[in-house]
């Protein structure tokens, strides 16, 4: 179905791995210890964004003086402990398995690079992907195109010849800004 593309790029959280509930649980755990709050819908609206960006929003909404990078680091530590034991693949991972060896593929995620590598390795699928680009690999994050443009560059493929699979508004915007076709998996 995607044979017309030279490369496939997958978002990770909520697209090929069922990690979103664990990310939200980790946020609630960290926020609770500081008396900070954020609604589930506000949290979901930041899907695809790096943790520090959501931390910044939480701090502003709660009129707090916390360091967003420290808050994000605490959330990352909490999610790592939970995810490595509980991560499950989502059905779209079968597309990556079907195209393995036929097309270069990459993961472009708002998670940190080391976290993405650890999760993909834990599931035994890291070798499917030519490249992994995490939030700490780019300066400008989704909805900016940098994550997906870096994926294309690492695979040696023209961005216009790539298709991106995404589950979040920021990621869909980033793919379009990179001049790539995008499959919004929420619509499948």
Q: Tell me what pLDDT residue 136 has.
A: 94
With cut-offs at 50, 70 and 90, classify the pLDDT of residue 141.
very high
Once rounded to an integer, what is the mean pLDDT over residues 168-188? Answer: 96
**pLDDT tens digits, one per residue of 66-97:** 999 999 999 989 988 898 888 899 999 999 99
Once rounded to an integer, what is the mean pLDDT over residues 135-144? Answer: 95
- pLDDT at residue 144 greater than cutoff 90: yes
pTM: 0.89
- The token pair that represents 40 in the structure block: 């589930």
The rounded mean pLDDT for the chain is 95
Q: Tell me what pLDDT residue 87 has.
A: 87
With cut-offs at 50, 70 and 90, classify the pLDDT of residue 2.
very high
DSSP assignments along 8-24, one per residue: EEE--BTTTB--HHHHH
DSSP assignments along 49-89, one per residue: S-HHHHHHHHHHHTT----HHHHHHHHHHHHHHHHHHH--B
Report the catalytic residues. Answer: 11
Whole-number Å distance between alpha carbons of 131 and 15: 16
């Amino acid at each position: 179905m995607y044979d017309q593309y030279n490369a496939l790029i997958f978002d990770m959280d909520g697209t090929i791995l069922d990690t979103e509930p664990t990310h939200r649980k980790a946020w609630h755990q960290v926020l609770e210890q500081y008396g900070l709050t954020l609604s589930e819908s506000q949290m979901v609206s930041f899907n695809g964004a790096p943790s520090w960006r959501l931390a910044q929003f939480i701090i502003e909404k709660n009129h707090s003086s916390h360091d967003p990078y420290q808050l994000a680091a605490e959330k990352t530590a909490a999610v790592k402990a939970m995810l490595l034991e509980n991560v499950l693949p989502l059905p779209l991972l079968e597309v990556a398995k079907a195209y393995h060896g036929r097309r270069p593929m990459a993961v472009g995620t708002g998670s940190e690079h080391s976290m993405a590598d650890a999760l993909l390795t834990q599931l035994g699928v890291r070798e499917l992907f030519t490249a992994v680009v995490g939030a700490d690999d780019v300066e400008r994050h989704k909805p900016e195109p940098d994550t997906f443009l870096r994926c294309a560059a690492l695979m040696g493929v023209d961005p216009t010849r790539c298709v991106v699979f995404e589950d979040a508004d920021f990621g869909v915007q980033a793919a379009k800004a990179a001049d790539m076709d995008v499959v919004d998996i929420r619509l499948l």
